[in-house]
Amino acid sequence: MKRVAAKFVPRLLSEDQRASCLDVYREMKDQLKTGPDFLSKIITGDESWCYGFDPETKQQSRQWKNGSSLRPKKTRQVKSYVKTMLICFFDIKGLVHFEFIPQGQTVNQQFYFEVLKRLRDSVRRKCTKFWRSGEWLLHHYNVPAHTALSVLQFLTKTG
């Protein structure tokens, strides 16, 4: 017998959830076979925390020393207290839209609804081919702010 550590997984899924995921994957695989440009039509949204750092360049950290003095020591850089969230949307070609969330603001359904409106304007300006054809897909996580009724109604109404 040997002792082993548990494997960390992002989320434990039920059998129904696993079956649903498999159905979605199979459907995407079929769509990829019928239209090879399927993946180029997807715009993915992601949220991430960004930390502010005040890095010191190698030139700035130089110090004078004489022949008998020891070399100066420098500690590793640690995360600063400045922390903000970034919401970004990108497609196969690169960044489509991004926003830094104001300090103290939470990403709730009203805020995310406004972000989606600004995303729509960015797609209209930057991805004119997608905008004219209306054949683009939005992929984002199933967090409560993304699946709120007002957000789903907006996405359904705007196609």
* CATH at residue 105: 3.30.420.10
Helical ranges in 9-148 per DSSP H: 15-34, 109-126, 128-133
Number of domains into which the chain is organized = 1
Token pair in block for residue 32: 């990829």
Q: Distances in Å between the alpha carbon of 93 and those of 40, 55, 144?
A: 8, 30, 28
Q: Examine residue 6 and state whether it is found in any structural domain, yes or no.
A: no
Q: Examine residue 14 and state whether it is found in any structural domain, yes or no.
A: no
Q: Per residue of the chain (159 residues), give pLDDT as tens.
A: 556 555 555 667 788 888 888 888 888 888 888 877 777 778 888 888 877 766 666 666 677 777 777 766 666 656 566 778 888 988 888 888 899 888 878 788 788 888 888 888 888 888 777 777 777 777 777 666 666 777 777 777 776
Q: Examine residue 69 and state whether it is found in any structural domain, yes or no.
A: no
Altogether, the residues listed in the chain come to a count of 159
For residue 109, the enclosing domain spans 31-56+77-158
- Rounded Cα gap, residues 103 and 85, in angstroms: 9
Q: Examine residue 94 and state whether it is found in any structural domain, yes or no.
A: yes
